[in-house]
Amino acid sequence: MNSFNARIGESSRHATSRTHAGDVWRWNWLRLGVSFLVLVLHLTASHADYGALERLAAGVCGITVLNVIWRYMSEKHVRGLPVLEWVVLQLYVFFAMPVFFEGESNMATTFQALSRSGAILEALIAANLFVFCLLAGWHLPRPKRRKASVAPVRHVPQLAVLVYGAVSLVVSFLRARYEYAWGTEWFMSVVYFLFSPTVAQLLLLFDFHNKQKTRSASVVVVFTSVMVVVGLFTGRLDYALPPLITLAIGLFVSQQRVPKTLIAASFAMLLVFNPVKLVYRELTGYRTAEFGTLTVGEMVDAWKESIQQVWAGNNAQQQQALDTTASRLNYLSVNATVIDSVPERIPYALGEPWAVVPVSLVPRVLWPDKPNLTEISTDRFNVLFGMTTWSIAATSTAAYPGVADGFWNLGWLGVAIAGFISGLFWKMLAITWTPSGRLRYSLVFLLVVTTRATAATPSLFVGVAQVAFACFIVVKTLELLGEIGSDGRTS
C-alpha cells in the first residue's frame, strides 16, 4: 500500500512538473512574440525623420525594457518595490521613444544636421549601452547578508500624519507663491525638506499597506487628490503629477494592480496640463509679486482661461500643445548634440563635473556657503552646449541626461561608467527598501519617485543626505508622538 501511494505521489509530481514546464514554455514563446511585435512597431510606425538603423536601435531598447518589466510581472508574488522596472521605463520614454515623434531641434543645432552626421543613431546606441551597463550594475553579485530580525511596527496616529500632511501642503503652496521672495534662502530649504507632502502620502500608504482597510485607502486617495489640486494651483507639474505616480506604485506594491482611472488621470495630467501650465504661468505672473496676491478663485479662473486658449483653439494650436508635451519627453536630441560636439568642438570634461558628488552629500545646513551645485554642473552643461544662456540659467534651468553626462566626461567609456554607477545606485535603494519598516519604506520610496532615472550622475546624489535626514526626523517624531499617545491612554 505504501509503495502504491509512493508511486501515485511520484506520478503527481511528474505531472505537476510537466504542467509547469509547459506553462513556462508557452510564457516564453508569448514573450518572444510580443518582443517581435515591439520591434516591428518601431520599424514601421516611427516618424519619417528617422532611418531604419535608428528605428532598429530604438526597438532594441524597447525590447530590453519590455523584458525587464515582463520578468517582474510574471512573478506569482511581486517582491519588493519595482525600482528597476520604473527606472528602465523612464530611460526608454526619454531616450528611445522620441523616434515616434517629429525630430526635435534645439538652440545648439538642428535635427537634420544631427541626423546627417549620424549623431542621432549614435545617441540611440549610447542609450542602449547605458541601459545594458545599468543592468550590469544592478546585477553585480554581492555577498549574502544575514537577515535581521524584524522589529514590530511602531504606532503612528493617522491624525498626526494628516496634520503633518496639511502643514506640508500649506508650506508647498506658500513656497510656490512666494518663491520670488524667499525661495532661495538656505533656511527655507530646511523647511522644505522637513515638511514634505510626499512623505505624508507615503506614511499613509504604509498604513494602508499593513492594514489593508477601506478607510485607510480612502484617506490616501483623498489626500492625494488634495496634493494634485494644490500642485495645479502652483503652476508646476512636478508638484501635481508625482502624487499620482506615487499612488499608482504604492497600490501596485500593495495589491498587484493599479486602477485604470488612476492611469488615465496620470496621462491626462501629462497631455492636457503640461502645455497649459505655460499659459497659466503667464496669466498669473508666476514667480513674481503678482502671483502671491492671487486668490484661489482667481487661480481657478486662470486655469479655465488657459485650457480654453490651448485646447479650444484651432488644430495648429492643439498640435503645438502636443509637440510641447513630446518635447518634454525628448532627451534624444540632447544626447545627440553632445555626441556630435565632443571632442571635436568641446573637449572632454574628464570627470570634473563628477567631482561635485562628495560635496553634494554635505547638507547645506552644515555648510551654508556650499558651492551652487546646479551652477557648477547643470547650468555649465546647458550653457556650454548652447541649450541656454547664463542669463536664462539664472532663473530657469533644465536637468541634463545621464547619457550626455557620461559622453561629455569620458566619451563611450563615460556612458558605460555612468550607466553602471546608476545601476549600483538604484540597486542599493532597492535592497534597502522594506514594506515592514516605516522609515525605510518612506525614505527609499521617496528617493525613487523624486529622483529622475535619466538624471546625470551628480544629480543622482544631490539632496540624498538631506532627504534621509529630514525623513528620519519626521518619521521618528511621529512615532514618538504615537508612543506618548499610547502611554497616555494606558495610564
Query: Mapped to the 3 state alphabet, what secondary structure does 310-321 carry?
Result: HHCCCHHHHHHH
pLDDT at 149 (0 to 100): 44
- DSSP-derived secondary structure letter, 146: P
Cell (9 digits) for 431: 535592497
Say what angle helices 83-95 and 52-73 make with each other, to 10 degrees. 160
Residue of 239, 216, 213, 215 lying closest to 226 (CA atoms) = 239
Q: Side-chain half-sphere of 79: how many Cα atoms within 13 Å?
A: 6
Cell (9 digits) for 33: 512574440
pLDDT at 325 (0 to 100): 76
* Domains contained in the chain, number: 2
**Domain identity same for 215 and 343:** yes
State how far the Cα of 222 lies from the Cα of 236, in Å rounded to an integer.
20
Q: Which domain holds residue 38?
A: 1-79
State how far the Cα of 361 lies from the Cα of 439, in Å rounded to an integer.
20
Which residues in the chain come in under a pLDDT of 50? 4, 7-8, 12-19, 146, 148-150, 488, 490-491
Question: Do 206 and 187 contact (CB within 8 A), yes or no?
Answer: no
State how far the Cα of 351 lies from the Cα of 406, in Å rounded to an integer.
9
**Domain identity same for 63 and 170:** no
**Domain identity same for 265 and 404:** yes
Residue at 130 is within a domain: no
Contacts for 291 with CB less than 8 Å, ≥ 6 apart: 176, 177, 180, 235, 284, 285
State how far the Cα of 311 lies from the Cα of 319, in Å rounded to an integer.
10
**Domain identity same for 171 and 74:** no
Residue at 399 is within a domain: yes
Question: Do 461 and 361 contact (CB within 8 A), yes or no?
Answer: yes
State how far the Cα of 279 lies from the Cα of 476, in Å rounded to an integer.
42
- The single residue listed with the C-alpha cell 506614511 is 203
Residue at 43 is within a domain: yes
**Domain identity same for 166 and 75:** no
> Residue 326 class from Cβ within 10 Å (0-12 exposed, 13-18 middle, 19+ buried)?
middle
Last residue in a domain, options 35, 62, 79? 79
**Domain identity same for 74 and 162:** no
Residue at 114 is within a domain: no
Three-state SS for 348-402 is CCCCCHHHHHHHHCCCCCCCCCCCCHHHHHHHHHHHHCCCCCHHHHCCCCCCCEH
Question: Do 111 and 333 contact (CB within 8 A), yes or no?
Answer: yes
The three-class DSSP label of residue 455 is strand
**Domain identity same for 193 and 69:** no
Question: Do 114 and 333 contact (CB within 8 A), yes or no?
Answer: yes
Cell (9 digits) for 284: 498669473
pLDDT at 490 (0 to 100): 44
Residue at 85 is within a domain: no
Residue at 93 is within a domain: no
H/E run at residue 469: helix 464-490
State how far the Cα of 434 lies from the Cα of 441, in Å rounded to an integer.
5
Question: Do 281 and 237 contact (CB within 8 A), yes or no?
Answer: no
pLDDT at 203 (0 to 100): 92
Question: Do 182 and 188 contact (CB within 8 A), yes or no?
Answer: yes
First to last CA, the chain: 64
Last residue in a domain, options 49, 79, 109? 79
- DSSP-derived secondary structure letter, 75: S
**Domain identity same for 162 and 75:** no
Residue at 320 is within a domain: yes
Residue at 167 is within a domain: yes
State how far the Cα of 486 lies from the Cα of 480, in Å rounded to an integer.
10
Which residues lie across from 401 on neighbouring strands? 455
Cell (9 digits) for 148: 535581521
**Domain identity same for 164 and 37:** no
**Domain identity same for 210 and 317:** yes
Question: pTM of this prediction?
Answer: 0.87
> At residue 401, what are phi and psi to the nearest 5 degrees?
-80, 160
Last residue in a domain, options 79, 100, 116? 79
Say what angle helices 158-177 and 197-211 make with each other, to 10 degrees. 150
H/E run at residue 170: helix 158-177
Q: Mean pLDDT over all residues of the chain?
A: 83
Question: Do 468 and 442 contact (CB within 8 A), yes or no?
Answer: no
Distances (CA, A) of 272 to 228, 232, 286: 14, 12, 19
**Domain identity same for 215 and 70:** no
H/E run at residue 38: helix 2-45
Specify the length of the chain in residues. 491
Which residues lie across from 455 on neighbouring strands? 401
**Domain identity same for 222 and 345:** yes
Question: Do 458 and 356 contact (CB within 8 A), yes or no?
Answer: yes
